[in-house]
A and B are shown apart, each in its own frame.
Chain A
Amino acid sequence: MIRCVILFCAFALLTSAALGHHGWGSYDASKPVTVTGPIVTAKFENPHATITVRGNDKVWTVTLAPPSRMSSRGATEKIVAVGQNVSAYGYPSTVEKDEMRAERITVNGKTYEMR
């Protein structure tokens, strides 16, 4: 049984060391980007709100926070609606092309933390 526990711990360490889609692990914090532009599409949905933003070079998919957290911080559905100008500071995905996860966003001069 002890051998079983040791094996499991090794497995758990291996799996937790891997990087992924929804944790912060699959975003490259050493290359922060700021994407500024109008919101093209907006989904205020669980598990994370997502917007697409027309930046200078391309359209970015910006992963935000769970809607309940965003609402409680004032970043409601109306704040991240289509047509709003947003500035999103965050980290590019190492997995999905043109996707970033926002650390914070600024809309109408007000900054909202996403973490």
Chain B
Amino acid sequence: MTDAAPEIFVALEQSSFAAAVRQSLWLYPAANVGHIVALTFFAGAVAVMDVRLLGGLAATSPAFLLARARSFAVAALAGMAVTGCVLFSAEASHIALNPAFQLKAALVAAGLINVAIYEFWAKRTVERLVPGATMPARAKVAGVLSLGIWVAVAACGRSIAYF
């Protein structure tokens, strides 16, 4: 534990929940595996959505495909959030100061902001399109940003262990 971290992270690491995570033989590894499994589902669902926004899978109905993929992505994101909190709590004071984690957290925020902008600004237009119709530029921008951001999030996540 490091006292250099903000108090809230020190308190989290000292909590009985975090202690239980560290002391259990299986909880931490299980959360690790769960985090990666959720990641694979999330990456798959997000890739389908981004490819569709970039004009791929053109024969499909955007509204149908995006809605299906979105429910997978939301469930997987929830899974990553839960397992991520477990992993974070065990070493909260160190991880909070870890530069790879800080970059990852910023990128997650950027990814969610990108989602919000898409939802408010592009979603309605996109979901009215018929199969084969050209995607508006704003949808393509959202798709490119999403691909780049989420892949970078994954890279930062894996990099936490090396900083």
Residues of A within 8 A of B (CB): 1, 4, 7-8, 11-12, 15-16, 18-23, 25-26, 43-47, 66-68, 71
The 3 closest A-B pairs by CB, nearest first: A20-B162, A46-B28, A45-B22
Residues of B within 8 A of A (CB): 21-29, 54, 90-91, 94, 98, 100, 144, 147-148, 151-152, 155-156, 159, 161-163
Contact A23 B151 (CB under 8 A): no
The one of A1, A12, A21, A26 that contacts B54, using a Cβ cutoff of 8 Å: A1
Mostly helix, strand, loop or mixed at chain B's interface? Answer: helix
The one of A15, A44, A71 that contacts B155, using a Cβ cutoff of 8 Å: A15
The one of B54, B98, B161 that contacts A23, using a Cβ cutoff of 8 Å: B161
The complex places the Cα of A101 from the Cα of B29 at a distance, in Å, of 20
Contact A20 B163 (CB under 8 A): yes
The one of B22, B148, B156 that contacts A4, using a Cβ cutoff of 8 Å: B148
Contact B163 A68 (CB under 8 A): no
Contact A71 B148 (CB under 8 A): no
The one of A11, A44, A46, A66 that contacts B27, using a Cβ cutoff of 8 Å: A46
